[in-house]
Amino acid sequence: LKRKKISVIGAGFTGATAAFLAAQKELGDVVLVDIPQAENPTKGKALDMWEAAPVQGFDSHVRGTSNYEDTADSDLVIITAGVARKPGMSRDDLVQINQKVMKSVASEISKYSPNSIILVLTNPVDAMSYTVFKETGFPKNRVIGQSGVLDTARFCAFVAEELNISVKDIKGFVLGGHGDTMVPLTRYSYAGGIPLETLIPSERLEEIVQRTRVGGGEIVNLLGNGSAYYAPAAALVEMAEAIIKDQKRVLPSIAYLEGEYGYEGIYLGVPTLLGANGIEKIFELELTNDEKAALDQSAEAVRSVMGVLE
């Protein structure tokens, strides 16, 4: 049996962190890829990680490259390539720049790893997932965006701190888009099976939800230069592990919808079953009127970003 192969495209903060976590978990051999101008730093990061292997005792090999031939026959590809929004750049500019990056990355992946499953992190993640889906022509179960695992993790981290209960016992649940347009389902959120709504007063719970919504911005403000990467990388690797180990996890994914929840032809955050075939199922839940209205807003936001795609 061959060891699994994971390519991480974009060797920046998130990509490098995800690569290291994936290697530490021995999910497979890891190929870290960046643009030719960044080839040496990419090789350096990968070599540095590989030199940690004897200390940490992982057998996953890590190498850096700017040549997509080295990614050939990857089982899983994680895309973190792109640019972050800089002062003076409009949101639409960002969409178009990252769309070009997604197009070039997608064509290389479909050329060298036509059977791979792709996880997309690059923002705006719903529109970027859609771009990769269209460019690769891969089936929808094999092009998956990340945002809900991160949003849920943030929510659970805040709740664990609030209640002084282990993070292991906190389960959160979100639908919809990333950040502002996230739709938290607090009625499906628990501490050790006990509904959170019975443990935290509703006003306080709403404050925690609001902090989660702007969780990305909180990190941006604190870092002063750049955006979150430890928790985003951890979220990617949790999804990667579910797929590589065929764990059949129920995790939120940005998935291509064809009628689910009443939406057609867009990528949106929904609960999914993740296993060896990528998204193996989309769970459809009964929503309250308020939740449905919030999800509609989320879908509208996605459509408005998609309107900027070229």
Contact footprint for ligand APR (CB under 6 A): 9-15, 33-35, 38, 80-82, 84, 101, 104-105, 121-123, 226-227, 229, 232
E-assigned strands of 70-160? 76-79, 117-120, 143-145
Our CB check for ligand APR shows the closer of 34 and 126 to be 34
Give me the DSSP letters along 21-69. Answer: HHHHTT-SEEEEE--GGGHHHHHHHHHHHHTTHHHHT----EEEES-GG
Our CB check for ligand APR shows the closer of 23 and 282 to be 23
Q: H or E segment at 142?
A: none
Known catalytic residue: 61?
no
Q: CB under 8 Å to 266, separation ≥6 — which residues?
A: 126, 130, 256, 257, 299, 302, 303, 306
The pair of structure tokens assigned to 204 is 């306080």
Our CB check for ligand APR shows the closer of 28 and 82 to be 82
Contact 270, 282 (CB under 8 A): yes
Give the span between the Cα atoms of 215 and 51, in whole angstroms.
34
The pair of structure tokens assigned to 229 is 């990467």
Contact 159, 197 (CB under 8 A): no
Q: What sign does the dihedral 236-122-86-213 (CA atoms) show? A: negative
Least Cβ distance, residue 9 to ligand APR (angstroms) = 5
Our CB check for ligand APR shows the closer of 27 and 102 to be 102
Our CB check for ligand APR shows the closer of 121 and 191 to be 121
Our CB check for ligand APR shows the closer of 152 and 186 to be 152
Phi, psi (deg, nearest 5) at residue 90: -80, 165
The residue sitting closest to ligand APR, measured at its beta carbon, is 12
Find, among 34, 45, 36, 37, the residue nearest to 8 by Cα.
Answer: 34
Least Cβ distance, residue 97 to ligand APR (angstroms) = 9
4, 154, 178, 213: the active-site residue: 178
Contact 121, 262 (CB under 8 A): no
Give the span between the Cα atoms of 11 and 8, in whole angstroms.
7
Q: CB under 8 Å to 199, separation ≥6 — which residues?
A: 163, 191
Please list the active-site residues. 178
